[in-house]
Amino acid sequence: MTDKSKKVPSSRISRLAHLGGLAGKVASNVVISGARQVLSGQAVTKKELLLQPKNIHAVADKLAHLRGAAMKLGQLLSMDSGDLLPKELALLLEKLRADAQPMPHKQLIGLLKLNWGSNWLDKFSHFELRSFARASIGQVHEATTESGQKLALKIQYPGVANSIDSDVDNVAMLIKISGLMPKQVAIDPLIAEAKQQLLVETDYLIEGDRLQAFKAGLQPYAQFKVPEYFPQYSTGHILAMEFVSGQSLDSQVHALPAVRNKIASDLIQLFFIEMFELGAIQSDPNLANYLYDETQEQIVLLDFGASRCIRRELAVGYWLLLKAGLEHDRDMMTTAVQSIGYFGEQIEDDYRDIVLDLFFMATEPLRAEQPYDFAKSDIAQRIRDMGMALSSREGQWHTPPVDALFIHRKLAGLYLIAARLNAKVGVRELFSGFEKPDCLGL
């Protein structure tokens, strides 16, 4: 078996050099391909040359090698509805969702010594050096303590925290120069938020606190399992939690309909619990962030790094928005959307009407008399088409508050999971169990 591990560049200079090398490779591809097409008499544009498949693959591979902020920014950009982005950028983002390459063992052991000291192995009866999961800022290893407790250890890649500003700025510049982002999408607020979000996500002690808070908040709901946190083995760059067995949600696509329907229903109910009871959401509905325990009929929640607190005013705005969608109340919907911050001060009536139509479309599952069949619905296609029409209105596009983007990312991701599971969900019944939020928990 070929070892695909690559040392993660940890210094700012080395990371910048990697991006500089990437720019040179892309430029070389552009010149060579441009010359070939010109000599053959073909008309060609700069954008077509930049967006060659080999350039897209080169960018994605380099960001995956750098991990950290470089990779995370690409993922964050996709939350403003990937359907509004060019197919080339969507392809790049899709590649970035795949597992990053693992760290070499020598680099891993150096990190363990740095965090736990030279006698780090004395803490364990077994430590598996091969990671079983990898993501944008860390990889996960299985270990067993001297007392027999099995742990899942998330270990952060080196240099991630110290390179956030430079990585994000460099990748943002690359995306801007490429012309991949539509002009109407305001990227600067997303760049600032990417930096802030990453600063929080790279502090695993904060994630440990959040894990404990979600575990306490979800205690009344037996359908969810939150692993135990082990602070004695955790540091700012290592998160130690209980190792929990389970099956991937992808593996449940062939389960019995009742199982698939329950998983999707529980996940959508969890969104309502987070928004209207806990006042905090885990904003990354990635399939890899969940497991399913068939024996206990529980969904295991694995990752709280991307969790965000939700202001009471915003939660109330979304409760009103969903209530308006359920009752098809246009006046209430207008009030809700304004309170969330979707309308600028100078809003034209026709633009406002299109935005409202878009939200009424998105809340269609709430109005279904029977459990909503996500697999047979073309709601994603219709939302995409209307969103594309909206984003093309020159001078009228209004980028919503960043928190709203994270909320939409979560809900859109859950819709996609429900469709992936071929599930039918009684969304109306789930929402009816939640009253207008008064005070929020976490």
- Positions marked active-site: 284
SS3 of 42-61: the string is CCCCHHHHHCCHHHHHHHHH
Tell which residue, 184, 144, 183, 192, has the closest CA to residue 165: 192
- Chain centroid to CA 116: 30
Token pair recorded at residue 223:
């359908």
Closest CA to 413 of 42, 75, 54, 117: 75
Q: Are 173 and 260 in contact (CB under 8 A)?
A: no
Can you name the residues that pair with 397 across neighbouring β-strands?
none
* Cα dihedral sign, 418-424-425-428: positive
Rounded Cα distance between 34 and 48, Å, is: 9
Q: What are phi and psi of 144, to 5 degrees?
A: -125, 130
Residue 368 backbone dihedrals phi, psi, to 5 degrees: -70, 130
Two tokens at 260?
């698939």
Cα 408 from Cα 412, distance rounded (Å):
6
